[in-house]
Amino acid sequence: MNHRKKIALVGNPNCGKTTLFNLLTGLNQRVGNFPGVTVNKKTGVFTLPNGEEAELIDLPGTYGLSSDSEDEKIAQEILLNPDNPYYPNVVLIVLDATNLKRNLFLATQIIDTGLPCVVALNMVDALEHKGISVDADCLSNELSTPVFLISAKQKKGIENLLEGLSKVAFTAKDLLVPIPQSAKQLTQNLVDQGLFSNQYVALKSINNEAKYSWVNDLDYEKIEEKYKYNRHAAELFEINDRYEFIDTLIEHCITIETKVQKSRDKIERLVIHPVWGTLLFLFVFFSLFQTVFTLSAYPMEWIGTGIEYLADFASKVLPEGSINSFIVDGLIAGIGGVVVFLPQIMLLFGFITVLEDSGYLSRISFISDKILSYFGMNGKSIIPLVGGFACAVPAIMATRNIENQRERLITLFITPLMSCSARLPVYVFLVSYIVPREYWLGVVNLQGLFMMGLYLLGIVFSLLIALVLNKFLPKANDSSFILELPNYKLPSYKNVLFSMWNKGKIFVRQAGKIIVIVSIALWFLSSFGPSKERKLITEKYNRELLSGNVDANQLQTQYKSELLEHSYIGHFGKTIEPVIRPLGFDWKIGIALITSFAAREVFVGTMETIYSVGGTNQQTKKIKFTLPTAFSLLIFYVFALQCMSTLAIVKQETGSWKIVILQLFVFTGLAYLGSWVTFQVLS
């Protein structure tokens, strides 16, 4: 039986909760899903100063205990439902010390549930710079809760915090914010019946009864009628009363220097300006792609050289035959074709982490709200859309934060058109055939500039599709976009490196599994075929070789090419070739298109495998595409929904096969049409 103390880690988004979680648990972390839902769950184990083991449960970031978003519902259910398996013994509330008014709303709500709480005032290292002075003792007295000043990034105050977690225990105390008058009699009655631990838990459970299963046994309509209770009015009264309490608290315990605040306001006006802010946003993303391309060039070259050395070494060491071919032409060629792009993928994830942790991503949400509203979305949609540049799967899951279901559906539908990191190897592979590796004015990388154009193309068409959906989807109730901007902060380089390493590792593991399976299947299908055909080709090869009238190396290359063409995979490629020939694709490219449906990046590994099986190891460097074909392939991959994982997550998030089929039909049709037009025009 597990007797560990359960500590729930709670806080607003961007409060430094993840940094503290990583600091306390180190490598003792596990990632999964909460039972029955797809919301990500992180837990970790650490030891308290008194020797007691504690399980730290990192709850999704939330702004309050009444939200409609999927992620925040999980935090609310765990904190309000004593029967939940993750119901905590202690709640560790992390607050951004530089933005206490927003953070204290959630903190005071959790304290009023009666759970034993410890408050960690994070980012205290930034207080002086921002001209803020916080009296922790004053806050502790007013909140009747231990308050500790910490900096998770600089590891300050952690020992005192751990001591506080060791000693905290349940003590009955009065509510910080009284129950609204209209709900007092009702909530007290429910507490007297033993249904809830205190009046505030009763209040939140009543107001959330449509959302949570554990309070559905009561007939709330009769209760509301009997007590003449209006839950919406009670929510508004609570918000008003709570902020009045917080305003008084801040007035007593916090001091802000006016000069520093004015300086920050000037920077904020520039960043969120509709014109200058948008230009800054475009410059940031332009710089991002330029940097990714430039910085990744050398490590990619080193990895490529290492893969070639490994293939040559294996070819010489292993005995000739099927095993040699399988290892060299199958596994090494397939896996190497993807691993070489790992530096670019890790850099892309790293930069996105910097944008998010610095607080700038929230500003992008703010300035994009007005534009996105024309397309049936709101500013919150920008986070899944930007996240789609890394991976569509977590980006689609991130749409849960969008409360309006219509806006969420439109965002979810178009997110796969954001060019994810899995497309990056394909883009790099094909762009090299079109754009020389040169610099304009000695600074601007032409390949990076062309790459940004591909990303913008996906964005433009995603907005066009959103426009169509916005026109034809049934109109829902008007939604409001409320976003409180977090303070700017320097991202922790450890967090950025951890994110790069972790995401890169996940990418290699997930892609590696698929690539190994696909490579084995490809090697088998390309190395074997109908015995009669292969026998005739071999006899022809032997006759010509014995004649001595041809170059032996050239003859061997031709022989391998003919064997590939008459292999099982060659026959399959020939079957689908008439369908893809108008796009400029031959049967070899057709095979790569089919296999890349498992994962887009498999396209490169497939091409490497097919060409290495069909020729020599050195020929993998000499895969040639005409300019129209390379352009056509690029357009195809900008639009095509070439990812089974994306389809699976859309089905999981929407519960509808209709949406999945429509998405697949629309994007595949767009890809085919775009490729056809591109090839015909350029030919």
Q: Which residues contact 546 (CB under 8 A, 6 or more apart)?
A: none
Mean pLDDT of the chain: 78
**β-bridge pairing 439-440 and 444-445:** antiparallel
Residue pair 65/80 in contact by the 8 Å Cβ criterion: yes
Q: In this structure, what token pair is assigned to residue 233?
A: 């009015």
345-363 per-position pLDDT tens digit: 777 778 777 877 777 777 7
Which SS3 state, helix, strand or coil, does residue 439 take? strand
Q: 613 pLDDT exceeds 50?
A: no
Phi-psi map region of 439: left, alpha, beta (phi>0 left; psi -120 to 50 alpha) = beta
* Mean pLDDT in residue range 614-635: 67
Report the alpha-carbon distance of residue 146 to residue 140 in Å, rounded: 5
Q: Which residues contact 605 (CB under 8 A, 6 or more apart)?
A: 333, 334, 335, 336, 337, 338, 515, 518, 519
Band (pLDDT 50/70/90 cuts) for residue 617 is very low
Measure the CA dihedral 610/613/615/620, to 10°: 50
286-314 per-position pLDDT tens digit: 777 667 767 877 887 788 788 878 888 88
Report the alpha-carbon distance of residue 546 to residue 561 in Å, rounded: 19
More confident residue, 595 or 156: 156
Q: 622 pLDDT exceeds 60?
A: no
The reported pLDDT for the residue numbered 34 is: 46
Select from 98, 122, 67, 88 the least CA-distant residue to 9.
88
Report the alpha-carbon distance of residue 399 to residue 286 in Å, rounded: 25
Q: Could you tell me the end-to-end alpha-carbon distance of the chain, in angstroms, rounded to an integer?
A: 70
Report the alpha-carbon distance of residue 220 to residue 289 in Å, rounded: 55
Q: How far is CA 246 from CA 67, 121, 190, in A?
A: 20, 15, 28
Select from 494, 670, 522, 503 the least CA-distant residue to 595.
522
- Report residue 467 CA to chain centroid gap: 24
Q: How far is CA 550 from CA 263, 543, 545, 546, 553, in A?
A: 79, 11, 7, 9, 9
366-379 per-position pLDDT tens digit: 777 778 888 888 77
Measure the CA dihedral 579/583/589/593, to 10°: -70
Report the alpha-carbon distance of residue 453 to residue 681 in Å, rounded: 19
35-77 per-position pLDDT tens digit: 444 456 688 888 998 888 999 999 888 888 876 666 777 888 8
Q: 389 pLDDT exceeds 70?
A: yes
Q: What is the pTM of this model?
A: 0.55
Phi and psi at 118, nearest 5°, equal -130, 130
* Mean pLDDT in residue range 406-430: 85
Q: What percent of the chain has pLDDT over 90?
A: 14
> How many other C-beta atoms lie within 10 A of the C-beta of residue 163?
15
Q: Domain spans of the chain?
A: 5-167, 276-425+442-472
> What is the residue-wise DSSP string for 235-289?
HHHHHHHHHHHHHHHHHHHEEE-HHHHHHHHHHHHHHT-TTHHHHHHHHHHHHHH
Q: Which range has highest mean pLDDT (221-225, 257-261, 527-531)?
A: 527-531
> What is the residue-wise DSSP string for 168-213?
--------SSPPPHHHHHHHHHHHHTTSSSSHHHHHHHHHTTTT-G
Which SS3 state, helix, strand or coil, does residue 640 take? coil
The reported pLDDT for the residue numbered 464 is: 93
Report the alpha-carbon distance of residue 83 to residue 217 in Å, rounded: 14
Residue pair 198/140 in contact by the 8 Å Cβ criterion: no
Residue pair 333/607 in contact by the 8 Å Cβ criterion: no
Amino acid code (one letter) for 176: L
Q: Largest Cα–Cα distance in the chain?
A: 104
The reported pLDDT for the residue numbered 621 is: 45
Measure the CA dihedral 313/315/318/324, to 10°: 140
Domain 5-167 is in which class? alpha beta
Q: 615 pLDDT exceeds 60?
A: no
What are the beta bridge partners of residue 47? 53
Q: 33 pLDDT exceeds 50?
A: no
Residue pair 253/116 in contact by the 8 Å Cβ criterion: no
Report the alpha-carbon distance of residue 524 to residue 464 in Å, rounded: 43
Q: In this structure, what token pair is assigned to residue 498?
A: 């951890």
Strands (DSSP E) contained in 200-351 are 254-256
Q: What is the CA radius of gyration of the chain?
A: 30
Q: In this structure, what token pair is assigned to residue 29?
A: 């972390």
Q: In this structure, what token pair is assigned to residue 271?
A: 């960043």
Strands of the 5-11 sheet, one edge to the other: 29-33, 40-47, 53-58, 5-11, 90-96, 117-122, 147-149
456-512 per-position pLDDT tens digit: 898 899 999 999 998 888 775 545 555 556 667 777 777 788 778 876 776 676 656
